[in-house]
Structure 1
Amino acid sequence: MRVLLTAGPTYEPLDPVRFLGNRSTGKMGYALAEAFAAQGAQVVLISGPSTLPDPVDERIETVRVETAAEMFAAAAAAAETADIWVFAAAVADYRPARVAAEKIKKSGDTLTLELVKNVDIAATLGQRKRAEQFAVGFALETTNELAHARDKLHRKNFDLVVLNSLRDAGAGFGHDTNKVTVLDAAGQIVNFELQSKADVARGLVSLILARRAATH
């Protein structure tokens, strides 16, 4: 079994020293990679900038990238032969339209940036997904969480979507714990109460493998 897994943030450069990014650490994605490997899977872990060390399990191949475009290229290369896709990365929706060659110097009271949309990695690859492939996405939401997660599930051709709410204490970016809700296209919901990200990862992998076996 081969697994494609994205993790961590992306950094979109503004100039040689600055970037647009987010607070993702990659902890959830790395824990998922290790949980899949523990089940015997060969994992391609495509990681955005993260301070976490590469997993030592020889069944995990770590590919380090920085930008959304680089993550898409690496994911597209691995997707064709992967049985399971898990999109756990927090990919920047937009990037600066122009990257300055030199450090932008402070001038005036305001600075206006023009941003352009990045490729939607999960949605683009979702259009190519074959019937025997199983795709799982993550949704980090702050309002109307279930509605946004369901929309993402259908729009990106996911089999499951894992919902994180930033309103849940101890969940989301930066924590060693997580609390998630898993939704499928039939409207079924599975809740994982607050626990370590390693335990959440093991539970999610068991659920993913069981759902894939039942539908393929």
Structure 2
Amino acid sequence: MGEAIPNFGQFLESLRGNMSLREAAKKCGLSHAYIRDLELEKNRSTNEKITPSPDTLKKLSGAYGYPYTELMIKAGHLMEQDFSGSYLTPIQVDLTAVFYIEIGTKEIYCLNQITRITKSIESLRDFSQFLDLVDEHDFKKVDTNIYVNFQHIRKYDEHLGKLYFDSLGVGLSVKMSEPYQCKYHDLIYPQIATNNNTSYEITFGKNSMLQSLLSSVD
């Protein structure tokens, strides 16, 4: 562990720039009140000092377009010398064939229909680099510790909140938590259409409820 830069909260506020707190909250999935607490570096209800977790910083990194590793260093979770080349041991996994990733306290599990690859988390440095790689391969966070490769989803059960990796919906599946169901609702159906090589149509039902329909391409 390192030490956070002075006035780290003000630095976060500068990254937000002209973006409103509510806009930032919508982009990163945190509450606007909590984002403001982070900028003030204290919980305004208890007046206690707060420090963002690595997971929170990951969300802010994506929302503000600022490198996650750099943000981790400035927050004091990592030190510059952690990245001095000779002893870097990145978590190496071919993510192109991985359907989803489950992150435990000490290990990372990469799964598809056939295999389950387990990798140990040796350091926070390696973990942060792995999350950067996950982002590059179009994985989306769908629950606290689960990331799904949207390039492989084939069916969505909206009622159960389940993503399937086969078009019949009988094989391997992952359940999304409710906030992520809302966040990715408009993305899921077009992605499934692309993955299944089908067309994507949108119609309005009798009650003006938006319905997503998939139809096969001749």
TM class by smaller structure: under 0.3
Q: Which has the higher strand share?
A: 1
The TM-score normalised by the length of structure 2 is 0.23
Determine which structure has more spread, i.e. the larger CA radius of gyration. 2
Q: Which protein, 1 or 2, shows the higher relative CO under an 8 Å CA cutoff with sep ≥ 6?
A: 1
The TM-score normalised by the length of structure 1 is 0.23
